[in-house]
Amino acid sequence: MSEEAKNEPSFCSFLAPLFRHKHNETVRETIEDLLEEAGIDGDDPFSEHEQQLLNNILCLKDKKCSNAMIPRADIVAFQKDGKIKDLAELMITKGHSRIPIYGDSLDDIVGIIHVIDLVKSFLKGQTDIKASQLITANVKFVSPSMRVLDLLREMQRQKVHMAMVVDEYGGIDGLVTIEDLLEEIVGEIEDEYDFDEDPVICMQENGTIIADAKADLSEIKDVCDIDLTTGLSEEEVADIDTLGGLVFHLAQRIPSRGEVIDGLNGIKFRILDVDPRRIKKVMISLPSKEDSCNK
């Protein structure tokens, strides 16, 4: 390893002081102090991913289950009297390894079936039995106001991977998995069975651009003939691949829906869709020719 590499500050070296902070200083205050010191020095040793990770950690203390859950309207569930061959098709179509099973309605969750339970039944030649005969997992119900950290710790201890979020009347408000909770810390986790459509980039007649936040900056450049990274340093450009990553870099946080983030060279980014974990859709407004001439 070269001397230059040895002397280069790393994310681990940044976190090291957290384990020897003063007793009268919280970990949160230590992180904030170190981030502030890095900003004052003007030397930012952190990549885009590391910055997002630190911001997620700082915001995690007050995050609730309601921020991380899959809303009721998006829950994929299966009726207990349905045949498991139909359940298998649903799992394949949706790409889920666990499916909650309900009785009379979605508010009557009776259990959870894992794909391994289906495989075991198929290997035994049992393909025409009801889903209710395979229910083995107990259901965990939690309040939407429960803290993400508390639920994550509890799910780890109880070896539970899925929980149903219920409202004050006992109705199902949403669903949360361990993966959802971890994504609050490390960001989006995708696997080969996450069925996402290709990013959409649309050039409007008025000159604005509507694009999915996951669209590559290089793709936006090819489609719209605009380089959104002009003015950034080579180091910054190397750490940013997507439109969402660029907006996060500029704002240094996850913006709110409807918020406008000022970019470089007069470009503005209006947040059209966002959730607590990520930016989803952005409107890009380019400076008019008159504005460019007046500069």
Domain boundaries, given as residue ranges, for the chain? 3-46, 66-186, 201-294
Fold observed for domain 201-294: 3.30.465
* Nearest one of 285, 277, 271 to 148, comparing CA atoms: 277
Strand order, beta sheet including 109-114: 78-79, 98-102, 109-114
| Rounded Cα distance, 91 and 78, in Å | 10
Strands (E), the chain: 70-71, 78-79, 98-102, 109-114, 141-142, 162-166, 172-177, 201-203, 209-212, 260-262, 268-274, 279-285
pLDDT value at residue 34: 62
User: Is 3.30.70.100 the CATH classification of the domain at 66-186?
Assistant: no
* Nearest one of 109, 131, 103 to 118, comparing CA atoms: 131
pTM: 0.56
pLDDT value at residue 26: 64
Amino acid at 124: K
Given a contact cutoff of 8 angstroms between Cβ atoms, the answer to whether 275 and 281 are in contact is no
| Rounded Cα distance, 216 and 210, in Å | 13
pLDDT value at residue 39: 53
In sequence order, what are the residues at sequence separation of 6 or more whose Cβ sits closer than 8 angstroms to the Cβ of residue 157?
none
Maximal CA-CA distance, the chain: 76
pLDDT value at residue 140: 92
CA dihedral 54, 9, 240, 40 (to 10 degrees): 70
Grouped pLDDT means (10 residues each) for the chain, 295 residues? 47 48 55 60 58 70 82 89 94 90 94 93 91 86 91 90 91 91 73 60 86 90 89 84 90 88 91 81 81 47
pLDDT value at residue 191: 60
pLDDT value at residue 8: 45
